[in-house]
Structure 1
């Protein structure tokens, strides 16, 4: 089969690799119809992780079930399914508690596994013609009959829509809240959409990329351009000096200010300033324990200076961690099916697998208009 393979920093190509196959009775093999380039794929693409060469990338996957193992009882050949980026067993302590992003079975010595990602187990990614899905009955979400026509929407259930929703869950967004989201990338846009699903009265989204800010407005948020002045002050001015009730961080450790300087602590420290006293912040942008290629010594150790004094004095609280996709994907699927939400509006480009390397290059370069890229193997 053909697949997008990582060979080193900014070096990926579509290669011939062994076919995905049934390895355990609980496996399925899925023919991939849509797989997305995620912003977190760019951490690996840029050489900012320890992902091994030869890895097939891609953790945002959907497609048609081609084959099932003898132990699969629910998922059937021909089903259209979307796959959480988390690979989970369904029976460990964390899975039983709904914490499927931190499965204790699938990545021994760590908590959590994923397709095609650094430090998340030996699993191949889905930027390929076919994908092996472990524990298929638990992990594969079967889609309704409109799956083909709504692929742009349903494919977002693999990661960014549940991750954005998880940010609002961590922040405990409630009806009538004001919410500030830092980052208008795909996850930030889905967090803004999710805040409105949960009844937020107003949602602000901070960024400095014009194309992303336009999309923030399209999803119903108020764009805050930090290149036009201090973003915190803009949020304070818009909320009568009080600050937003809740905040969501959707950028992660490679955050940059509007001048282009990398500052990994700018998002969380800005949210501490922009969220009101006793407010809550949810962090779903990726942060890592080590980043050897970072610009400063603290960041190389996965650390940054946090304004903890202000955070404590304001009585704020914070929740962090990757999304437990299965907590949210079924309900969000139903909203898509009933035309209540249309997350696919952020898609800018749909490419063939042969065009994947070019898609990575242009998405990584933040070229204008390259906001969300789908691949169709």
Structure 2
């Protein structure tokens, strides 16, 4: 399942096999409960870095579920209380993805299926347009997924 509010990203998620849920127009909790026969999600990946996304991800988890926080969090407090984590027996892990560690495997996938990986890239722009590109991406403008900047 993929939660987002940007329609183009939800279409991309469906293309890659996820059940797309627009959190602005659908109740993610109801969709998860329906898909899991009322249990909740076994795991959730929070890749946004916002307290709201962390809170939503935790609410979708079953008792004993796992939450992996990959987004860059800049707040001084976690969106979950230690009591909630304890009471629901949740597993919480956060930190940076070791890009260097995963790069060889990622490159093999990219070499094997260039067309598949290319679908993830919505824009190829010169580095000189990097600031504008970041603003568009951060504003969640429609049609932006991954951006490649070239020197």
Q: In which range does the TM-score fall when normalised by the shorter chain?
A: 0.7 to 0.9
Per-residue deviation, residues 38-66 of structure 1 (Å, max 9, x unmatched)? xxxxxxxxxxxxxxxxxxxxxxxxxxxxx
Match of 1:349 in 2: 123
CA distance in 2, matches of 1:325, 1:361: 24
Match of 1:236 in 2: 33
Whether 2:70 is the aligned partner of 1:284: answer yes
TM-score normalised by L of structure 1? 0.37
SS across alignment from 1:373: strand
Which structure dedicates a bigger proportion of its chain to helix?
Answer: 2
Match of 1:12 in 2: none
CA distance in 1, matches of 2:123, 2:135: 13
Contact residue 350 and residue 376 of structure 1 kept, 8 A? yes
Q: Which of 199, 211, 229 is equivalent to 2:8?
A: 211
Whether 2:43 is the aligned partner of 1:246: answer yes
Q: Which of 70, 94, 99 is equivalent to 1:320?
A: 94
Contact residue 363 and residue 371 of structure 1 kept, 8 A? yes
Whether 2:23 is the aligned partner of 1:226: answer yes
Per-residue deviation, residues 191-240 of structure 1 (Å, max 9, x unmatched)? xxxxxxxxxxxxx1111111211111122111111112332232112211
CA distance in 2, matches of 1:332, 1:341: 14
CA distance in 1, matches of 2:80, 2:125: 40
Structural RMSD (CA): 2.2
SS across alignment from 1:247: strand
CA distance in 2, matches of 1:310, 1:358: 40
Unaligned runs of 5+ in 1: 1-203, 254-264, 289-298
What is the Cα deviation at residue 307 of structure 1? 4.3
CA distance in 1, matches of 2:120, 2:11: 10
What is the Cα deviation at residue 241 of structure 1? 0.7
Contact residue 6 and residue 141 of structure 2 kept, 8 A? no
SS across alignment from 2:54: helix
Q: Which of 43, 48, 57 is equivalent to 1:271?
A: 57
Count the aligned residue pairs: 151
The change in CA–CA distance for 1:307 and 1:373 in structure 2 (over 3 A counts) is same
CA distance in 1, matches of 2:115, 2:90: 31
CA distance in 2, matches of 1:363, 1:337: 26
The change in CA–CA distance for 1:359 and 1:268 in structure 2 (over 3 A counts) is closer
CA distance in 1, matches of 2:138, 2:55: 25
What is the Cα deviation at residue 286 of structure 1? 0.4
Match of 1:330 in 2: 104
Contact residue 250 and residue 285 of structure 1 kept, 8 A? yes
The change in CA–CA distance for 1:359 and 1:332 in structure 2 (over 3 A counts) is closer
Unaligned runs of 5+ in 2: none
Per-residue deviation, residues 65-107 of structure 1 (Å, max 9, x unmatched)? xxxxxxxxxxxxxxxxxxxxxxxxxxxxxxxxxxxxxxxxxxx
SS across alignment from 2:24: helix
